[in-house]
């Protein structure tokens, strides 16, 4: 019962990164509304926000992740009126109903994402992350741990539970481009490995395994290669319940 | 020697004075190549070759280029404008629609004309502008709320303001207008929205509309049958980039945008004329003389709004008046610009949506979007997009900045999604530098040179990140380009070898140009939110 309650609580928490103060269509939208909303989103929003709504840094519409708390009414207002002095344009031709359908579609996507959440115990998960799992030897949570891997402090707002579970079981299945590991071999024969922070025609930047920011002129590099994720699979080292606990804990991390 | 220099300076000064007193006549615009110290239209001349006859900066000394000045725009929008330079005065646009007059030698401002577009002005892909045009002492600017403005080039005061289309109905205008004699000819965009695009001519003195050609034929007009039902009314086909003009044929040429909705063709069955086409119009009447459709029944957002490049070249041993076109659909074309005849076409990046042409140049399409997803090359953003290419009559090469290996998983009715792990791999251009993570199998930017007759690649310069920048070439065979990485590049026009680079700290989303003031050659490029001018010490 306790597990169920926690799971339900997590499910509710996972519905939104920020608790909505008011819902416009939450209990009223029909399947037709959602289809219309999806169509309107693809036509009006996807060009900038991307097909999954995650193409603009800091915003992930498909997972309800915005730059500040948003009610449905807030979102409807922004869709119709835009945000002054930003690239977000007004859409005066769009009716309130159409904007509501887009919001309903986005809300439904986020809710669908969250349904994949598994039941588990966040406290137990936290203990595994900092203990047996040795996750903080590469990852950082709320200021503690290594910076070499992705910071997990807000991972619950960025990733669906199913994605978290997959990352634990098969870390190489879907590595985000910004999290890829890289090795450079310099012309003097030395090698440096770390998380690739970016590269261009002439330079390359990474955070090396000693957490040092490094920048290389490509003329100094003999060769470079992407590496498999250094993260181990927890398929056999954690039990299904422990995996569920870790996923539940990670899903609860929404600090930023 | 000193006397000769003095006489030359006096002649130059006299010529400049004469030029200033008569303003920019159409004859000067038409023969912009005769006064390479100026840049009188979007791509230098109405042939759109983006070629400068200035010779002070050479492959041997380009490494010595130094920053002459920077002008910073008060704008967070992409800086896509190519400036004009008229007798030492530079005119550019601070996005979305403020015109700025600068001292071309120092970058110091003379005046700013501020225009606040109506809030309904909302182009799909940024509140941008690609530059003003000039005739006499009047500047002309298209606005994102679909107005055409005339502004005094000396004072920065508005002369007239004509509403070309209703912004509330999603119309917008972002290109540099085309000046033909006493007319200002503009394209009307907004094609990702349910509009009906058009090309219209206005009296340069009064702003009165003289003619309008709708890019989607109405009922009873040839081509209307290529749209099912009422889809022609909202079928898009915006025109949002600069046109070209050939005085010998007296034809203006404009590329047209994609049909709407972009990637779901089920509601608009047929070829959807004149979407994704080049149109040859009589500038006096707006009458269509010929058209060529690059992508019939487009479902992949392959706008053909690239800048038409006109050139006179040898094809199979005989002189031809051609139009060169590197299209968003990944295919490069050489067309007869007199008749519209398809001469040759060939992919210039990886292409799999077509595998050849019929005798008239209609592409044989082999890939179609499906609900299950279809891997299609190039990506929805294209092998290239709107950025201006260049052509050198000296090297006889066509220079194109493009994206290679950009795949799309097309799904009917949905936004075509990029393949591979990094689906942000061909994101829209922005202003600031952004981390780039692609591996070798993922899209990259590349500047390539092509033989205009055979469309064979002659050389390439590969970048890591993609590019929304154009190319520009000088009479000394230097190609200037750049991209999202924020390097302004000088390449050897014959070999592609890197000669010089300057980090500009922001993405390059424009084409470069060159001009001279008091005998000193400058090269200018917009990047990030600023305009940079370089010169030799």
Give the pLDDT of chain A (256 residues) as one tens digit per residue. Answer: 333 333 323 332 332 222 222 233 333 455 566 667 777 887 788 777 877 777 776 777 877 777 776 777 788 888 888 887 677 777 777 888 788 878 877 776 665 544 444 478 999 999 999 999 999 999 999 999 999 999 999 998 888 888 899 899 999 988 888 899 999 999 999 999 999 999 999 999 999 999 999 999 999 999 999 999 999 999 999 999 999 999 999 989 987 5
What pTM was estimated for this model as a whole? 0.84
Cβ A90 vs Cβ B144: under 8 Å? no
User: A92 and B168 in contact by Cβ < 8 A?
Assistant: yes
* pLDDT of res. A8: 28
Residue B144: the pLDDT is: 97
Measured between CB atoms, which of B122, B123, B415 is closest to A46? Answer: B415
Number of other CB atoms surrounding residue B58 within 10 Å:
14
For residue B201, the SS3 value is strand
Tell me how far apart the 2 most distant CA atoms of chain B are, in Å: 77
Report the C-alpha gap between A134 and A59 in whole angstroms.
30
Residue A3: CB atoms within 10 Å: 14
Distance CA B108, CA B111 (A): 9
* Residue A165 DSSP class: H
What is the model's pLDDT at position A10? 30
Q: Is A68 exposed, middle or buried (0-12, 13-18, 19+ CB in 10 A)?
A: exposed
CA distance A137 to B427: 33
Q: Are B471 and B457 in contact (CB under 8 A)?
A: no
The tokens of B164 are what?
């070309």
For residue A175, the model assigns a pLDDT of: 85
**Is B301 an active-site residue?**
yes
List the catalytic residue out of B246, B301, B303, B465.
Answer: B301
Reference A59, options A84, A39, A88; nearest CA is A88
Chain A, residues 81-120, CB within 8 A of chain B, namely 82, 85-87, 89-93
pLDDT in tens, B412-452: 777 777 776 566 567 788 899 988 888 777 889 999 999 99
CA distance A53 to chain B (A): 11
Q: What is the ipTM of this complex?
A: 0.89
**Cβ pair B381, B406 in contact under 8 A:** yes
Q: What is the pLDDT of residue B200?
A: 98
Using CA atoms, how far apart are residues B67 and B56, in angstroms rounded to an integer? 16
Asked if A55's CB is within 8 angstroms of B424's CB, the reply is yes
Q: Alpha-carbon distance B340 to B279, whole Å?
A: 9
Alpha-carbon distance of B134 to A230, in angstroms, equals 60
- Give how far the C-alpha of residue B439 lies from the chain's centroid of Cα atoms, to the nearest Å: 29
Q: Who's near A55: CB < 8 A, 6+ residues apart?
A: A48, A49, B424, B427
- Given CB atoms, is A47 within the 8 Å cutoff of chain B? yes
Cβ atoms A21, A119 nearer than 8 A: no
Residue tagged 């009906």 (tokens)? B196
Please report residues of B whose CB lies closer than 8 A to that of A85: 76
Is there a contact between B417 and B376 (Cβ–Cβ < 8 Å)?
Answer: no
Contact B505, B434 (CB under 8 A): no
Q: Are strands B51-52 and B472-474 parallel, antiparallel or unpaired?
A: parallel
Average pLDDT (B112-137) is: 94
| Average confidence (pLDDT) over B212-222 | 97
**Which stretches of A40-190 are assigned E, i.e. beta strand?**
140-141, 144-145, 181-186
| Dihedral angle over CA of B427, B429, B431, B435, nearest 10 | 30
Cβ partners under 8 Å of residue B513, min gap 6:
B39, B44, B50, B52, B82, B83, B85, B472, B523, B524
Q: Mean of the per-residue pLDDT values for chain B?
A: 93
Q: Give the pLDDT of residue A17.
A: 29
Chain B residues within an 8 Å CB radius of A55: 424, 427
Interface test with B, best of A46, A82, A200 (most B CBs within 10 A): A200
Chains A, B: CB pairs < 8 Å? 86
Least confident among A223-237, B19-33, B150-164, B276-290 = B19-33
A221 close contact with B: CB closer than 8 A: no
| CA-wise closest residue to B117 among B93, B133, B136, B85 | B93
Of B119, B124, B435, the CB nearest to A92: B119
Rounded to a whole number, what is the distance in Å from the CA of B207 to chain A's nearest CA?
27
Give the helix/strand (H/E) hosting A39.
Answer: helix A31-44
Could B438 and A47 be called an inter-chain contact, meaning their C-beta atoms sit closer than 8 Å?
A: no
Best mutation target among B119, B128, B262, B369 (most A Cβ atoms within 10 Å) is B119
Chain B residues within an 8 Å CB radius of A201: 462-465, 485, 487
Is B122 close to A200, i.e. CB distance below 8 A? no
Question: Measuring CA to CA, which residue among B179, B80, B97 is closest to residue B141?
Answer: B97
Q: In Å, what is the CA distance from A237 to each residue of A133, A134, A232, B247?
A: 8, 11, 9, 77
Under 8 Å CB-to-CB from B221, ≥6 apart: which residues? none
Q: Which of A201, A216, A221 to mutate to test the interface with B (most CBs of B within 10 A)?
A: A201
**Is-contact B483 B426, C-beta < 8 A?**
no
CA–CA gap between residue B173 and residue B176 (Å, rounded): 9
Give the angle B97-B102-B103 at the CA atoms, nearest 5°. 170
Percentage of the residues of chain B whose pLDDT score is greater than 70:
94
pLDDT tens per residue, range B483-505: 999 999 999 999 999 999 999 99
pLDDT confidence tier of residue B86, bands split at 50, 70 and 90? very high
Collect contacts of B315-323 with beta carbons under 8 A, ≥24 apart.
B315/B343, B315/B344, B315/B453, B316/B453, B321/B246, B321/B248, B321/B249, B322/B452, B323/B244, B323/B253, B323/B278
For chain B, the C-alpha Rg in angstroms (whole number) is 22
What is the nearest CA distance from A178 to chain B, expressed in angstroms? 6
């Amino acid at each position: 019962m306790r597990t169920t309650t926690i799971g339900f609580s997590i499910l509710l928490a996972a519905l939104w990164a920020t608790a909505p103060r008011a819902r416009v269509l939450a209990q009223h939208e029909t399947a037709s509304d959602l289809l219309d909303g999806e169509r309107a989103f693809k036509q009006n929003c996807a060009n900038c926000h991307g097909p999954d709504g995650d193409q603009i840094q800091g915003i992930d519409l498909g997972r309800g992740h915005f730059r500040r708390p948003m009610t449905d009414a807030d979102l409807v207002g922004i869709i119709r009126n835009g945000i002054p002095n930003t690239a977000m344009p007004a859409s005066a031709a769009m009716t309130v109903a159409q904007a509501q359908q887009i919001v309903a579609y986005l809300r439904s996507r986020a809710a669908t994402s969250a349904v994949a959440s598994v039941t588990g115990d966040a406290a137990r998960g936290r203990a595994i992350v900092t203990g047996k799992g040795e996750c903080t030897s590469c990852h950082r949570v709320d200021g503690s741990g290594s910076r070499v891997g992705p910071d997990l402090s807000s991972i619950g707002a960025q990733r669906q539970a199913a994605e978290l579970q997959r990352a634990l079981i098969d870390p190489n299945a879907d590595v985000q481009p910004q999290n890829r590991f890289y090795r450079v071999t310099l012309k003097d024969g030395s090698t440096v490995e770390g998380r690739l922070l970016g590269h261009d025609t002439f330079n390359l930047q990474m955070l090396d395994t000693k957490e040092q920011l490094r920048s290389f002129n490509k003329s100094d590099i003999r060769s470079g290669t992407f590496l498999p994720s250094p993260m181990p699979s927890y398929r056999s080292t954690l039990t299904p319940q422990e995996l569920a606990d870790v996923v539940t804990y990670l899903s609860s991390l929404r600090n930023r | 020697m000193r006397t000769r220099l003095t006489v030359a300076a006096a002649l130059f000064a006299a010529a400049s004075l004469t030029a200033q007193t008569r303003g920019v006549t159409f004859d000067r615009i038409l023969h912009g190549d005769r006064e390479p110290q100026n840049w009188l239209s979007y791509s230098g001349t109405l042939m759109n070759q983006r070629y400068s006859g200035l010779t002070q900066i050479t492959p041997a000394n380009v490494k010595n280029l130094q920053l002459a000045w920077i002008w910073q725009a008060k704008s967070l929008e992409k800086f896509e404008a190519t400036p004009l330079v008229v007798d030492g005065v530079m005119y550019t646009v601070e996005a979305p629609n403020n015109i700025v007059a600068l001292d071309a030698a120092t970058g110091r401002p003379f005046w700013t004309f501020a225009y606040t577009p109506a809030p309904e002005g909302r182009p799909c892909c940024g509140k941008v502008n690609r530059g003003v045009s000039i005739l006499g002492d009047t500047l002309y600017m298209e606005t994102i709320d679909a107005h055409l403005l005339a502004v005094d080039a000396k004072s920065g005061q508005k002369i007239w303001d004509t509403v070309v289309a209703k912004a509330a109905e999603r119309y917008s205008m972002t290109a540099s207008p085309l000046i033909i004699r006493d007319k200002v000819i503009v394209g009307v965009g907004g094609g990702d929205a349910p509009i009906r695009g058009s090309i219209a001519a206005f009296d340069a003195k009064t702003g009165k509309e003289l003619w309008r050609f709708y890019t989607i034929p109405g009922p009873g007009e040839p081509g209307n049958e290529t749209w099912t039902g009422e889809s022609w009314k909202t079928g898009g086909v915006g025109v949002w980039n600069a046109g070209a003009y050939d005085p010998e044929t007296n034809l203006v040429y404009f590329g047209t945008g994609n049909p709407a909705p972009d990637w779901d063709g089920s509601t608009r069955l047929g070829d959807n004329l004149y979407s994704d086409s080049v149109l040859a119009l009589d500038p006096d009447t707006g009458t269509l003389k010929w058209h060529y459709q690059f992508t019939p029944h487009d479902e992949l957002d392959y706008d053909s709004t690239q800048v038409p490049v006109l050139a006179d070249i040898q094809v199979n041993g005989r002189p031809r008046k051609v139009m060169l076109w590197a299209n968003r659909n990944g295919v490069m074309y050489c067309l007869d610009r007199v008749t519209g005849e398809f001469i040759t076409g060939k992919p210039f990046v990886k292409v799999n949506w077509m595998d050849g042409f019929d005798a008239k140049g209609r592409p044989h399409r082999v890939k179609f979007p499906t609900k299950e997803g279809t891997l299609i090359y190039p990506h929805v953003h294209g092998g290239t997009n709107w950025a201006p290419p260049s052509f050198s009559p000296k090297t006889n090469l066509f220079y194109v900045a493009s994206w290679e290996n950009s795949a799309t998983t097309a799904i009917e009715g949905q936004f075509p999604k990029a393949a591979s792990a990094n689906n942000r791999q061909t994101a829209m251009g922005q202003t600031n530098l952004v981390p780039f993570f692609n591996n070798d199998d993922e899209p990259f930017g590349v500047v390539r040179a092509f033989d205009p007759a055979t469309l064979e690649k002659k050389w390439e310069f590969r970048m890591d990140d993609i590019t929304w920048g154009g190319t520009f070439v000088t009479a000394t065979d230097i190609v200037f380009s750049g991209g999202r990485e924020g390097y302004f590049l000088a390449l050897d026009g014959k070999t592609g070898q890197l000669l010089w680079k300057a980090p500009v700290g922001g993405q390059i989303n424009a084409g470069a140009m060159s001009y001279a003031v008091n005998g000193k050659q400058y090269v200018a490029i917009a990047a990030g939110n600023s305009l940079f001018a370089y010169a030799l010490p």
